Amino acid sequence: MTSLVRHITFDCLDPYRLAQFWSEVTGYQEDPDDPNLPDHIEHLILPPDGGPGLLFVTVPDGKTVKNRLHLDLQPRDRTRDQEVERLLGLGATLVDDRRVPDGKGWVVLADPEGNEFCVLRSAAERA
């Protein structure tokens, strides 16, 4: 037997804010039968295809070290560089730029609470 990944969970100080950020990043939406409200200690956003949701849970401790697990994002309808600019505009911060002159590479960003994630080239850029 195997297990299903139901949620990917972020421990955070402000789950409402982080759920809103990641909803803008991914297009995931809250459950209409259980909306995310600012005073809730857990906030869930779900993908339209039924895959694992992103769950944001209140913890009292701030992030202090590099993530041991992170998300790699691949833009669907724009280039990597366009997506990086969009995410910076949403409140992400640049952590490390691993782009190389031949167009390959990735960019490491952090969400508003410092959780790192990478932005890869789109499928069209890889073709």
Number of structural domains found in the chain: 2
Q: What is the pTM of this model?
A: 0.93
Do both 47 and 75 map to the same domain?
no
User: Helix, strand or coil for residue 122?
Assistant: coil
Judge whether 64 lies within some domain: no
Residue 108 domain boundaries:
71-126
Do both 19 and 44 map to the same domain?
yes
The tens digit of pLDDT for each residue in 66-123 reads: 888 999 999 999 999 999 999 999 999 999 999 999 999 999 999 999 999 999 999 9
CATH number for the domain that contains residue 105: 3.10.180.10
- DSSP state string for 45-78: EE-TTS--EEEEEE-SSPP-S--SS-EEE--SSS
